């Protein structure tokens, strides 16, 4: 029987799950859209990652991260629940123990992480504007009538990249439309867009910070070769996209869960997901116990409460 560790990363756009062995190698992974229900995406992802894995396994523990980590943790009774900074930094160091900087761009936000001596020493996040994130690039690809996967290859053919505003998603889109109306070709516009988004990222997140290599580029947008080239041009250094760039958060959560369980003498609180997906639901209610009037969120399985959070008092 093979011992495996489960990592779950629930983001605003996508949900990622990995199964990792004792040597911290990924055995299987699943990447799917979160859509309207983080809870259902976790359950679907769990079924999918198990269905493609050897049946003779034992899940020894589970970790959760991402904006929906509380939901994921409630469903599997996770051993470790950590923020995305810690999870991505952990996975980066598994990929390259000498890594110093992590550039991470997801579906709705972006972050930069600084590492030293195997630890996260500083970070910065942008959750205010969607410019440069996966959802923004998806929108522009749809508007231009091209697959988002072609942005990188088309931008590489640019001969005269145009200037695009990169600080704001609204201004960036307005600039792109204006350049189209001026007659610029799509290759030059896309190359200018990649340069602008990277410029905005570095100005917003890395201003005043020293970026040192090795530099890793993680998150779903790391699949865009145009953004990778723009980073390398702006930083004048090599930027590496890890093999598992799209599930680094989930991988880091699995590694943290393994460490947590090992510190607890091998005892895990992990609970298998059982029952039909429709047996799971979430409910919210306002507590009238005091003047705070907290919104309490409950996770139920078959009508039984498995977890609650949201209260400011005991």
* CATH superfamily, with its number, for domain 97-241: ATPase, nucleotide binding domain (3.30.420.40)
Domains of the chain, residue spans: 2-87+249-273, 97-241, 276-314
- Inform me whether the pLDDT recorded for 174 exceeds 90: no
**Could you report the per-residue pLDDT of 262-303, keeping only the tens digit for each?**
999 999 999 998 777 888 888 889 988 888 889 998 888 888
Q: 161, 175, 173, 167: which is closest to 198 by C-alpha?
A: 167
CA distance 131 to 108: 9
The reply to whether 97-241 shares the fold of 2-87+249-273 is yes
Q: pLDDT per residue over 183-193, tens digit each? A: 889 999 999 98
pLDDT in tens, 152-163: 899 999 998 888
How many whole angstroms separate alpha carbon 119 and alpha carbon 150?
36
Predicted pLDDT of residue 130: 67
Mean pLDDT for the stretch of residues 207-235: 93
Tell me what percent of the residues of the chain surpass a pLDDT of 90: 57
Cα dihedral: 162, 168, 169, 171 (round 10): -60
Tokens, residue 223: 């699949």
Does domain 2-87+249-273 correspond to CATH entry 3.30.420.40? yes
> In this structure, what DSSP letter does residue 227 have?
H
The pair phi, psi for residue 117, each rounded to 5°, is 55, 40
End-to-end CA distance of the chain: 42
Average pLDDT over residues 44-68: 91
Give Rg (Cα) of the chain: 21
- Asked if the peptide bond before residue 267 counts as cis, ω within 30 degrees of 0, the response is no
pLDDT at 48 over 70: yes
Place 127 in a pLDDT band, splitting at 50, 70 and 90: low
pLDDT of the residue at 85: 96
């Amino acid at each position: 029987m093979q011992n495996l560790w489960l990592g779950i990363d629930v983001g605003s756009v996508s949900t990622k799950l990995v199964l990792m062995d004792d040597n911290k190698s990924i055995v299987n992974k699943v990447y799917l859209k979160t859509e309207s229900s983080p809870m259902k995406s976790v359950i679907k992802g769990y079924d999918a990652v198990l269905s493609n894995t050897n049946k003779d396994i034992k899940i020894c523990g589970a970790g959760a991260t991402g904006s929906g980590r509380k939901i994921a943790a409630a469903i599997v009774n996770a051993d470790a629940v950590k923020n995305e900074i810690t999870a991505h930094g952990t996975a980066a160091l598994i990929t390259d123990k000498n890594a110093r900087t992590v550039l991470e761009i997801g579906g709705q936000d972006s972050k930069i992480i600084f590492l030293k001596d195997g630890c996260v020493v500083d970070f910065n996040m942008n959750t205010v504007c969607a410019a440069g994130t996966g959802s923004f690039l998806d929108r522009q690809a749809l508007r231009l009538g091209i697959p988002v996967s072609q942005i990188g290859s088309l931008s590489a053919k640019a001969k005269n990249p145009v200037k695009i505003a990169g600080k704001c998603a609204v201004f960036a889109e307005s600039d792109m439309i204006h350049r189209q109306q001026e007659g610029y070709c799509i290759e030059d516009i896309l190359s200018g867009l990649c340069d602008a988004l990277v410029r905005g990222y570095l100005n917003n997140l890395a201003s005043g910070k020293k970026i040192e290599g090795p530099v890793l580029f993680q998150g779903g947008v790391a699949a865009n070769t145009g953004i990778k080239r723009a980073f390398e041009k702006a930083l004048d250094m090599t930027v590496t996209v890890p093999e598992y760039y799209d599930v680094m958060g989930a991988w880091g959560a699995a590694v943290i869960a393994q460490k947590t369980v090992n510190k607890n003498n091998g005892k895990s609180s992990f609970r298998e997901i059982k029952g039909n997906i429709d047996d799971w639901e979430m409910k919210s209610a306002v507590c009238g116990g005091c003047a705070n009037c907290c919104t309490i969120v409950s996770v139920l399985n078959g009508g039984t409460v498995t977890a609650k959070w949201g209260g400011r008092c005991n």
